[in-house]
Amino acid sequence: MPPIRLWSIEDFQIDPSRPLYEQFVEQIRAMIARGELEPGTRLPSVRETAASLRVNPTTVMKTYQELERLELIVTFRGQGTFVTQAEEAIRQTRMQLAKEAVRRLEETARSIGLSLEELWELSREKE
Amino acid sequence: MPPIRLWSIEDFQIDPSRPLYEQFVEQIRAMIARGELEPGTRLPSVRETAASLRVNPTTVMKTYQELERLELIVTFRGQGTFVTQAEEAIRQTRMQLAKEAVRRLEETARSIGLSLEELWELSREKE
Amino acid sequence: MPPIRLWSIEDFQIDPSRPLYEQFVEQIRAMIARGELEPGTRLPSVRETAASLRVNPTTVMKTYQELERLELIVTFRGQGTFVTQAEEAIRQTRMQLAKEAVRRLEETARSIGLSLEELWELSREKE
Amino acid sequence: MPPIRLWSIEDFQIDPSRPLYEQFVEQIRAMIARGELEPGTRLPSVRETAASLRVNPTTVMKTYQELERLELIVTFRGQGTFVTQAEEAIRQTRMQLAKEAVRRLEETARSIGLSLEELWELSREKE
DNA sequence: GTGGTCTAGACCACA
DNA sequence: GTGGTCTAGACCACG
């Protein structure tokens, strides 16, 4: 059973100034959170992924380990790595991402002394 | 002409896993953006700040130089460092911070396949 | 993948009364602007450069970071530092240097009350 | 015999990142070179100038000393400081400034691998 | 007194 | 291996 398809480096938006594995984690997590990678889907192996993304295998390994720690993927030895079947974990992730995003927005508003409404208005001004 | 007052390390919330100078820049920028540090105010000297924050002078200098590149402070040789008189630059900074914060929120919503309203609702659910 | 070749201190013309890093920036920028360092070329590592130029690694790092802010080089974490592939940025730099040089010439002419033609004539007189 | 008039800081264009005295020297030298300050004119005293420009007296002193070294002004003890009567010195200065400006232009052209004509063309392109 | 540069050397995360 | 941050301490020009 092959994985849906190999990744290409163009599937990711990379900022060279930030850790690669961190950006892979974020973007694969988003793929799972929005349902683009469905539960049970088999992911390409570490070796395959490293080759297709042209990155160091240890970078992919760190990515997968972190996603595993987040309980978004599971590895079955000898069988491969799969998106978790636990939809609850995916639901939780979506909520965490939402809460975190709003928390950051509120933190920014607080730091410049604005209410959320004022921040919103300001962000909509031109120039 | 002394600066308003020396900083204490308690004036800053420091995450030891991130670069010190980066956090100083962010938090001083916020002080200026919300008007806590008024235009024309003299900042404590590099040496004073280093002593009061218990960090190395070069760390403070890197902080000040970054704030200067952001055009939020100005250095007059031999006289010290001052919050810019150009209130326009401060206004711009507030707007940039607001726009950036909202952009990140929209980016998060997009990445998990939600509208801004849906993201907001989700962030307000309990658990 | 080694860089083209190490630098020697003889590759640079150093005026000891001016900041080292500033002169390195100017001269490496010129190498890129005139195509001597081609897009994609890997620069010698910070440590190698520091050793071959007999300067401190932090001096080289400051040089590279400044060139990075100018968008003339890009750093890939753990991989090294490379001349940007964005030839547009290089073209822009050439134009900026040209415009700036002419602007300075016009400024000098203005400051001594001459037209560009008169300045040119004057500079060609002997003694 | 009063000097023509006191200077105000608005008579000068100041870049805070460069030495003050250096900029005063350049700009007063230009005033003399273009004839705005005529030979024999009496300059305001160091003390007066420091007060009217709101700078440190030692800065003005250093400025005058440098202009004296350039033989553009002369000080008669107890009488004051005057623009030199030696028109030859002024002529020389104009020529030095012109030669130096052209030398810098040629140096820039050389550093980016262009002829003077090509540099000129490039500086005239838009964007 | 001020900031700016440079050195020497340590430690860290990342690939 | 790579660059990035931080410390400690020296020296300098400027005002």
Q: What is the pLDDT of residues B14-45, one digit of tens each?
A: 999 999 999 999 999 999 999 999 999 999 99
CATH architecture observed for domain D9-124: Orthogonal Bundle (1.10)
Task: Collect all residues from D whose CB is shorter than 8 A from any CB in C.
Answer: 27, 30, 33-35, 94-95, 97-102, 104-105, 108-109, 111-114, 119-120, 122-123, 125, 127
Asked whether strand F has any atom less than 7 Å from the CB of B19, the reply is yes
SS3 content of chain C, % helix, strand, coil (to 5): 55, 10, 35
Out of D34, D120, D123, closest to residue C113 by CB? D34
Residue of chain D nearest C108, judged by CA positions: D101
Give the residue-averaged pLDDT of D61-76.
96
What percentage of chain C has pLDDT greater than the value 90? 94
pLDDT number for residue A4:
73
pLDDT number for residue D126:
86
Residue C3 pLDDT exceeds 90: no
pLDDT number for residue D107:
97
Confidence of residue B56 (pLDDT cuts 50, 70, 90): very high
Confidence of residue B75 (pLDDT cuts 50, 70, 90): very high
CB contact at 8 A, B83 and B31:
no
Task: Kindly list the domain boundaries of chain A, sorted by start residue.
Answer: 9-124
- C-alpha distance across the termini of chain B, in Å: 53
Give the residue-averaged pLDDT of C31-47.
97
- Residue of A34, A122, A124 for testing the chain B interface, max B β-carbons within 10 Å: A122
For residue A115, the tally of other CB atoms under 10 A from its CB is: 11
**What residues in A contact B97, CB-CB < 8 Å?**
108, 111-112
**Own/partner long-range contacts of B90-96 (Cβ < 8 Å, ≥24 apart):** B90/B32, B90/B33, B90/B39, B93/B29, B93/B32, B93/B33, B94/A112, B94/A122, B94/B33, B95/A122, B95/A123, B95/A125, B95/A127
Confidence of residue A84 (pLDDT cuts 50, 70, 90): very high
CB contact at 8 A, B38 and B79:
no
In this structure, what token pair is assigned to residue B111?
A: 């990445």
In this structure, what token pair is assigned to residue D89?
A: 């010195």
Three-class DSSP category at D1? coil
Residue D1 pLDDT exceeds 60: no
d(CA B31, CA B38): 9
Distance from CA of C78 to the nearest CA of D (A): 31
Residue A113 pLDDT exceeds 90: yes
User: What is chain C's mean pLDDT, rounded?
Assistant: 95
In this structure, what token pair is assigned to residue C94?
A: 């050439």
- Residue of B24, B72, B123 for testing the chain A interface, max A β-carbons within 10 Å: B123
Cite residues whose beta carbon is less than 7 Å from strand E: A 19-22, 55-56, 58-59, 62; B 43, 45-48, 57-58, 61, 64-65, 75, 77-81; C 19-22, 54-59, 62, 77-79; D 17
The count of CB pairs under 8 A between chains B and D is 9
d(CA A87, CA A72): 9
Write the burial class of residue B77 (CB in 10 Å: 0-12 exposed, 13-18 middle, 19+ buried). exposed
Distance from CA of C78 to the nearest CA of A (A): 10
Residues D12-50: pLDDT tens digits?
999 999 999 999 999 999 999 999 999 999 999 999 999
User: What is chain B's mean pLDDT, rounded?
Assistant: 95
d(CA C16, CA C23): 10
Q: Say how far D47 CA is from F4 C1', in Å.
A: 49
CB contact at 8 A, A55 and A47:
no
Q: Which nucleotides of E are covered by protein (CB under 7 A)?
A: 1-10, 13-15
Asked whether the beta carbons of residue B112 and residue A122 sit closer than 8 angstroms, the reply is: no
Q: Say how far B58 CA is from F9 C1', in Å.
A: 11
pLDDT number for residue D3:
67
pLDDT number for residue B2:
65
H, E, C per residue of chain A: CCCCCCCCHHHCCCCCCCCHHHHHHHHHHHHHHCCCCCCCCEECCHHHHHHHHCCCHHHHHHHHHHHHHCCCEEEECCCEEEECCCHHHHHHHHHHHHHHHHHHHHHHHHHCCCCHHHHHHHHHCCC
Residues 6 or more apart from C111 whose CB is under 8 A from it?
Answer: D27, D30, D33, D34, D97
